[in-house]
Amino acid sequence: MKPLRILLIACALSIVTPHAAESYRIAVIPKGTTHEFWKSVNAGAFKARDELAAQGIKVEVIWKGPLKEDDRDQQIQTVENFVTRKVSGICLAPLDSQALVRPVTSAIRAKVPVLIFDSGLKSDNYVSYVSTDNYKGGVLAAGHLGKIMGGKGNVILLRYAVGSASTEEREAGFLDTLKKDFPAIKLISSDQYAGPTRETGYQASQNLLNRFARDVQGIFCPNENSTVGMTKALRDRGLAGGKVKMMGFDAGSQSVTDLKSGDVQGLVVQSPIFMGYKSVMTMVEHLQGKKVEKRIDTGVALVTPENMDEPANKDLLNPPFEKYLK
Amino acid sequence: MTKGRILLSQFGPFFGLFLVVALFATSLAVKDIADHRSADSSTWSQAARASHYDGLKAFLGVTNVKTVLLQSVIVAIGALGMTMVIVSGGIDLSAGSAVALTSVLAATFLVKGWPPAAAFAFTLLAGGLIGLINGTLIASLRMMPFIVTLGMMGVCRGLAKWVAGNQTVNTPEGSKISDLMMTDDLDHLFPLPPGVWLTLGLGVLLALLMRQTVFGRYVFAIGSNEEASRLSGIRVPLQKVIIYALAGMFFACSGLMQMARLAQGDPSGAVGLELDIIAAVVIGGASLSGGTGSVLGSLIGALVIQTLRNGSSLMNWPTFTQEIIIGAVIILAVGLDRWRQARAAR
């Protein structure tokens, strides 16, 4: 009978008292929850929460995303549900630069501010855009790959997914630089997609290698699951370890192991902890009425087997996320 | 059956919806109190008096009701088409893929600069064609609906990716199409978004078709006993072709709504949607062996599924627990329904 009684009390109560000052509920919605990258973003968001709590600002960070990175409808529903919960603000990494425009517009109309992180949105109706300079990441990748290939040979670009702005920018940066700085390098495939999971990335890589294994000298993959999938496919065929130069993006634990063992010749690494941290911090500043930058760059670095033991790179490769995710 | 029992079987799905809503309302109220209690470290009754019940209010509030209605549209329209198929003793597994294909087609037509009316009409025709092929194969070759539509599921998915060139097809900028599934004013229940009205309108139409026309009686007759229907002169193959073709048009309508919602045609979207749709119909009281089912029940079934998703989200449960709970509730709902029917039959 207890729940019923509580329900009755709940229905009877209708007095609204104002909230205590400086207390916010911020929803952080990643593209997915299975990649390690997002765990680091999550850690960064919690780090911001803990630091703010130390300053006496109570922030509840609600972390919620679709299980798979291509479930647009589920992400839209998540945004809508947070709007109905009237959270103080939403930090969103849009799965698709167009499909999420409508729900974000709806949220803002309902007076819930939205901050975009990681990946862009085809709209400028948001608080701030906090992300890696993805184009620059692609430029770094092309520069390193071109160099270790000696400026010649055949290259494959395995794309990630259609409509994902962040990876499309990396791909564009890679292709532009290759064309400009390494005219002797030939692009033999750039129309295949890794898809949302390691399994789909692995399959796409196997198919590509079945066709191009004899011709290819260098490969670029623009995110975690495509990098892991392609490296695995290269190993299966005995092409790993430098026979085919492999350039990846993001520091998942598998990619870092592959970098150590020499199966990957370079990783372009973002700082996901800083991204999560900066997103929550910026949202809180906005909620406090402070003016915030419309575009915030969270940095990108090139890590190779040679420089991977430098302290700064060590933290990027093995983000200390356990520290914040308890 | 007595009148009371007929009433009970008619309103069964409502009990389900009521149960789900009450369950979440109670859990949210308890959660609100618990949140408050941990903050002030007071007793339960003190916390109950002091809590603002933000979670509960958010769940039962107009904004949320409107959101759930909107989120249910795609499954609900699909469930209307599926109701016909399931009542006739069949099944259509190609629904999700058909939704993806028609959403891509509609977006492609719009990109080509067709007037919206023409684009919509041809999309509906395309959906009808998919259903026509399903129905013809099932009726003429006497193949299992499960197998035929399983095959069609793959065919439609592949076609969608082909038509879309393996990409999402974005609708032209500034197109008014998103308005179908968008709401400006979240603080008031009315005006409801056009998609919700469309669902209700289609529901009324289908209910009339199923209850008041000869065709509708045939659908129930075929589902109850196909052989007897054939022997009493119903042209079963023709009826089946019509049933699947009509269902295909409903799925196309879902596809249009999907496109409006995403502002794009997504060839890899709506994966597994057919299972949501079938679940809605079954929660709504239909039997997978045919002969029973109702339009109203299926609409309520769609609402039950969406309320479960929405409630889990408000409870802050992670996505994987949502999936487990929705699965369990489907089994529970159908189990309860069977138990109720078994008692009614005694």
pLDDT tens for B118-165 read 999 999 999 999 999 999 999 998 889 999 999 999 999 999 999 988
Confidence of residue A34 (pLDDT cuts 50, 70, 90): confident
> Residue A115 pairs with which residues in a beta bridge?
A91
Who wins on pLDDT, B26 or A21? Answer: B26
Which residue, among B38, B147, B68, has the nearest Cα to B313 in the 3D structure? B68
Q: Which helix (H) or strand (E) holds B21?
A: helix B3-40
| The two structure tokens encoding residue A12 | 């009877």
What does the pLDDT read at residue A10?
44
What's the rounded mean pLDDT across residues A290-317?
Answer: 90
- b (16+ CB within 10 A) / e for B200-212: eebbeebbeebee
For the record, the structure tokens of A282 come out as 């910026």
The per-residue pLDDT for B297 is 92
Q: Residue A86: pLDDT band by 50, 70, 90 thresholds?
A: confident
- A185-193/A153-159 β-pairing: parallel
pLDDT exceeds cutoff 70 at A74: yes
The alpha helices in A185-322, defined as continuous H runs, are: 198-212, 224-236, 253-261, 272-287, 311-317
Q: Do B64 and A84 touch (CB under 8 A)?
A: yes
Asked if A64's CB is within 8 angstroms of B318's CB, the reply is yes
With contact defined as beta carbons under 8 Å apart, do A235 and A256 qualify?
no
E strand or H helix at A191, and its extent?
strand A185-193
Rounded mean pLDDT, A40-44:
93
B168 vs A10, A62, A162: nearest CB: A162
| Model confidence band, residue B41 (pLDDT cutoffs 50, 70, 90) | low
DSSP string of A124-142, one letter each residue: --SS-EEE--HHHHHHHHH
Specify the pairing of strand A23-29 against strand A89-92.
parallel
pTM: 0.76
Helices then strands, each counted (H, E), chain A: 11, 12
- The percent of residues in chain B predicted with pLDDT above 90, rounded, is 49
User: If 0-12 CB within 10 Å is exposed, 13-18 middle and 19+ buried, where does residue A103 land?
Assistant: buried
B279 vs B79: CA distance, rounded Å: 9
- Are A64 and B318 in contact by the 8 Å Cβ rule? The answer is yes
* B181 pLDDT higher than 80: no
Structure tokens given for B88: 């006739």
Nearest CA in chain B to A192: B166
Is residue B25 within 8 angstroms of chain A, CB to CB?
yes
pLDDT at B268: 84
Q: What is the mean pLDDT of residues A259-266?
A: 93
Amino acid identity of A39? Answer: K
At A32, give phi and psi (nearest 5°): -160, 175
Residue A3 confidence (pLDDT) above 80: no
What the block records as the tokens of A172 is 């564009």
Whole-angstrom distance between the N-terminal and C-terminal Cα of chain B?
Answer: 10
pLDDT at B312 over 90: no
Amino acid in the structure at residue A22: E
State the nearest Cα–Cα gap between A279 and chain B, in angstroms.
Answer: 21
The widest CA-to-CA distance across chain A, in whole angstroms, is 78
B244-284 residue pLDDT tens: 999 999 999 999 999 998 888 888 888 889 999 999 998 88
Which residues in chain A have Cβ-Cβ distances shorter than 8 Å to B71?
Answer: 77, 80
Task: Return the pLDDT at B10.
Answer: 64
pLDDT(A15) > 60: no
Angstrom distance (rounded) from CA A206 to CA B308: 40
Report DSSP state, residue A14: -
Strand-strand pairing, B169-170 and B264-265:
antiparallel
> Which residues from B are below 8 Å from A85, CB to CB?
54-55, 58, 314
Query: Phi first, then psi: what are they for A286, rounded to 5°?
Result: -60, -45
Interface test with B, best of A84, A159, A164, A191 (most B CBs within 10 A): A84
Q: What is the pLDDT of residue B38?
A: 67
Q: Which of B221, B222, B281 is nearest to B250 (CA)?
A: B281
Alpha-carbon separation of residue B308 from A77, A93, B319 (angstroms): 12, 25, 12
Mean pLDDT estimate for chain B: 87
For every residue of A100-123, DSSP letters joined together read THHHHHHHHHTT--EEEESS--S-
Nearest to B320 among A62, A67, A193 (CB): A67
Give the mutation candidate from B313, B316, B322 for the A interface (greatest A CB count, under 10 A).
Answer: B313
Torsion angles phi and psi, residue A188, rounded to 5: -100, -20
Return the residue matching tokens 């998540």.
Answer: A78
Residue B274 DSSP code: H
Of residues B95 and B30, more confidence is placed in B95
Q: Identify the band that residue A293 occupies on the pLDDT scale cut at 50, 70 and 90.
A: very high
Is the ipTM higher than 0.90? The answer is no
